[in-house]
Amino acid sequence: MKLVILDRDGVINEDRDDFVKNTMEWVPLPHSLEAIANLTQAGWHVVVATNQSGLARGLFDVHALNAMHEKMHRLVGQAGGRIDAIAYCPHGPDHGCECRKPLPGMVLELAERFNVKLQGLPLIGDSLRDLESVAAVGGQPILVRTGKGMQTLEKGGLPEGTLVFDDLFDAAEHLINL
């Protein structure tokens, strides 16, 4: 099985410094829906792993999060794609959980759920913590320049072997052509 893990904010949809809090603020990035459709049609299973500390901060509730994810599923479906699962961390940075990226909790959960090997498992993200979460378990970190990706690239310190692409569409094309 070919499985790819995507971060959400900054990879699939526009990121916001004040958090994406509702469906009106959840706006897909150009070509991201098409990228997911292309992956799906090429036989990839697409899953999402996203830190959602806005829940712990009281900026939105689980109903708003579910509505955002329903919108994402609907728009991806309309583009001809599918997201097979979404894992999210509802905790804040200081809660000491095992799921919040850069820890690999969500990566481990998704790999186990889909019964795939961790070695080489691709995760596409825009922040260092995304990349670290998959690198920690032997996966393939992939950075996109969208969202906070340019800042992440400029800061440096990327895990060894990190691949870098302009956006999700380009990263998806790379995976499809492997």
Spot the catalytic one: 7, 15, 130, 167: 7
9 appears as a binding residue in the annotation: yes
Q: Is-catalytic flag, 7?
A: yes
> Could you write out the DSSP letters of every residue in the chain?
-EEEEE-SBTTTB---TT---STTT--BPTTHHHHHHHHHHTTEEEEEEEE-TTTTTTSS-HHHHHHHHHHHHHHHHHTT----EEEEE---TTS--SSSTTSSHHHHHHHHHTT--STT-EEEESSHHHHHHHHTTT-EEEEESTTTHHHHHHH--PPTT-EEESSHHHHHHHHHT-
Asked if residue 61 belongs to a known ligand binding site, the reply is: no
Residue 171 to residue 178: CA distance in whole angstroms: 11
97 is in an annotated binding site: yes
Q: Which of 9, 15, 130, 167 is catalytic?
A: 9
7 annotated binding-site participant: yes
Q: Which residues contact 12 (CB under 8 A, 6 or more apart)?
A: 6, 28, 29, 32, 33, 36, 48, 72, 168
Is 17 known to sit in a ligand binding site? no
61 is catalytic: no
Q: Is 170 annotated as a binding residue?
A: no
Annotated binding site for Zn(2+): 89, 91, 97, 99
Annotated binding site: 7, 9, 89, 91, 97, 99, 126
Which residues belong to the active site?
7, 9
Annotated binding site for Mg(2+): 7, 9, 126
